[in-house]
Amino acid sequence: MKRTVFLLLPVFLIIFQSCESPKELPKKELPPNIILILGDDMGYSDIGCYGGEINTPRLDQLAENGLRFTQFYNGARCCPSRASLLTGLYPQQAGIGHMVYDRGTPAFRGDLSSNAVTIAEALKGAGYSTYMSGKWHITPYVIDNPDKGNWPRQRGFDKFFGIISGAGSHYDPRSLAEDNEYVPPREGFYSTTDFTDYAVKSIEAHKGENPFFLYLSYTAAHWPMQAPADAIAKYKGQYDKGWDEMREARFERMKKMGLADEDWELTARDSFVQAWSDELPDKEWELANMETYAAMTTLMDEGIGQVVDALKAKGQLENTIIFYLQDNGACAEELDWIKIRPDEKEVVALATDKVQTEMIPFASREGQPVKIMKEGWPGPADGYTAYGLNWANASNTPFREYKHWVHEGGIATPLIVHWPAKIKKGGEFRKNPTHLIDIMATCVELGGKAYPVNYNGNTIQPMEGKSLVPLMEGKELEREAIYWEHEGNRAIRMDKWKLISKARKKNSYIWDKTEELELANWELFDMEKDRTEIHDLAATHPELVNKMAAMWLEWGKRTGIVPRPEKR
């Protein structure tokens, strides 16, 4: 009997061990939630953590605990930048080399290409839920019976609330839509507030363990300069010293922060920019525009804070990567192209249940005639103003040019990356030249799903960008060059060198022939010593100019920019 028990003991031990609670296996690391936040028509040094005096504590906190990219680039204009950001392609490859109208070639079709996928489409293949709130602007705006094939819901987003077109009143925007239908604004609508609310509700309503992708595309701080009076009041008097002192103060802060090199020179005031003086005409109106612009930016920052708070409340902040960037540099447009307006006596208020179809409404919903630029006043719904060239020059401190152009003032944007689970040493800079095309590659790597070769029966163009994940980890990123073209303005960035050719006039399309491109007037700048693009070195480096110009031309042909379309 004892022998039997002894022989059975190992069996009992095996059975007993097999009945123990199994050891917990290591959980598979879930892909992060991804939030992509885009500001509209803002200068490189506007937000606090990039040298600005505007109050942006929530963005500053994200930067302090995350990374700031100092040489991140956009596409110089709203539509091209958005197309490039969402597809990981250059704008022309995505079909939107200019704006959302058809100029007759695939590169300038003005509608998102079916040979491209959006980040939302790519991430859905990795199991992500996808939400969008805000400005779309990568398909033509049509009022009656629009083709919705390139609306957000058809391009990968599960839910959408925002505007299909571009600019519009912040109180009563043109083309406001929810999912697949145009809708009138609620009573008390304000774009930043309502786009934030929808983003927050999307986070709160998200169910399950699968990750989500949220694209929050604000219309702040694009003209018109409109914001609630209490938000504007907080900036009363802050800009009374004018734009010249504002530029100098920003440049000094940027140097102290390490964003600007001590050896860089502050660009001379643009020749068209007025000197600030007590005798300046319409001085109070000018000040009101900048005060409103600052208020719009702070309200956006507060909205971003609400998004962060919603993540914290759900315990999702740790494994959520947040990107913040801007679609182009500061906007110098003066709205002088607006010529035809109805007689005020003929203006009729739009019914509350009607959809706004005008980019510049004829009347506010309260029935007040909407007045343009100096006929109106910044802030309320019946004023439609832009802050113009003078303030835009300061917003872009310390750089040259503005939105539309491919000098640094047109294409340099902040990029803040915040991800507590992976970025443990916050507050660092990343100085590598990087671009919108890199966001798709980054999201694909983070999502853990291969980028599609085919989608919906269409062959998909390969990504142009590089993943930013190695830079987040402190490694280097190697690339040959980054390229730009917008409205005839051309540039190529290779290592520390940047080659630029400015169009002969804004909206210039006169260089249709390849020969004209080869004879272009190129400028060459050393971006390490002279990022403010003051000292042209083209004459002393002719071989480098020829090499980079040839690279640009090859890229232009590959992406469909060359030859130029015949439609103007």
| Structural contact between residues 499 and 545, judged by C-beta atoms closer than 8 angstroms | yes
C-alpha 150: how far from its chain's center? 19
What is residue 34's three-state secondary structure? strand
Q: Alpha carbon of 405 to those of 237, 483, 490: distances in Å?
A: 32, 13, 8
Which structure tokens are listed for 118? 């959006």
| Structural contact between residues 118 and 453, judged by C-beta atoms closer than 8 angstroms | no
What is residue 110's three-state secondary structure? coil
Percent of the chain with pLDDT over 70: 92
Tens digit of pLDDT for each residue in 511-542? 445 545 555 789 999 999 999 999 999 999 99
Which structure tokens are listed for 340? 């035809």
Q: Which amino acid is at 217?
A: S
DSSP E strands in 320-397: the ranges are 320-326, 371-372, 383-384
Q: Is the pLDDT of residue 233 over 50?
A: yes
Residues 476-484 have a mean pLDDT of: 95
Residues 548-562 have a mean pLDDT of: 96
The CATH number of domain 33-472 is 3.40.720.10: yes
Q: Quick one: three-class SS letters along 470-511? A: HHHCCCCCCCCCEEEEECCEEEEEECCEEEEECCCCCCCCCC
Residue in the block written with tokens 């009041």? 233
Burial class from Cβ neighbours inside 10 Å (0-12, 13-18, 19+) for residue 286 reads buried
Higher pLDDT: 26 or 420? It is 420
Domain spans in the chain, listed from the N-terminal domain onward: 33-472, 482-559
Question: What's the chain's Rg over C-alpha atoms?
Answer: 26
Tens digit of pLDDT for each residue in 331-361? 999 998 888 888 888 888 899 999 999 999 9
Class of domain 482-559: alpha beta
Tens digit of pLDDT for each residue in 19-31? 333 344 344 678 9
pLDDT at 503: 86
Residue in the block written with tokens 């109070």? 284
Report how far residue 176's alpha carbon sits from residue 164's, in angstroms, rounded to the nearest whole number.
7
Report how far residue 447's alpha carbon sits from residue 315's, in angstroms, rounded to the nearest whole number.
20
- Please tell me the pTM assigned to this model: 0.93
Tens digit of pLDDT for each residue in 277-318? 988 989 999 999 999 999 999 999 999 999 999 999 999 999
To 10 degrees, what angle do helices 388-395 and 242-257 make? 20
Tens digit of pLDDT for each residue in 372-406? 999 999 999 999 999 999 999 999 999 999 999 99
| Closest by CA position to 45, among listed 529, 530, 428, 413 | 413
Q: Is the pLDDT of residue 275 over 80?
A: yes
Report how far residue 406's alpha carbon sits from residue 329's, in angstroms, rounded to the nearest whole number.
9
Which structure tokens are listed for 477? 């990123």
pLDDT at 199: 98
- Using alpha carbons only, give the angle 298, 311, 81 rounded to the nearest 5 degrees: 55
Within 13 A of 490's CA, how many CA atoms are on the CB side? 28
The DSSP element (H or E) to which 246 belongs, if any, is helix 242-257
The DSSP 8-state label assigned to residue 160 in this structure reads E
Report how far residue 31's alpha carbon sits from residue 41's, in angstroms, rounded to the nearest whole number.
32
Report how far residue 116's alpha carbon sits from residue 151's, in angstroms, rounded to the nearest whole number.
14
Which structure tokens are listed for 338? 């607006």
Average pLDDT, the chain: 92
The DSSP element (H or E) to which 279 belongs, if any, is none
| DSSP notation for 315-342 | T-STTEEEEEEESSS------TT-----
Q: Which amino acid is at 519?
A: L
Which structure tokens are listed for 25? 């296996």
pLDDT at 505: 62
Q: Is the pLDDT of residue 508 over 80?
A: no
- Using alpha carbons only, give the angle 388, 394, 396 rounded to the nearest 5 degrees: 95
| Structural contact between residues 118 and 155, judged by C-beta atoms closer than 8 angstroms | yes
Q: Is the pLDDT of residue 417 over 60?
A: yes
pLDDT at 568: 65
Q: Distance from first CA to last CA of the chain, Å, rounded?
A: 102
Report how far residue 217's alpha carbon sits from residue 227's, in angstroms, rounded to the nearest whole number.
17
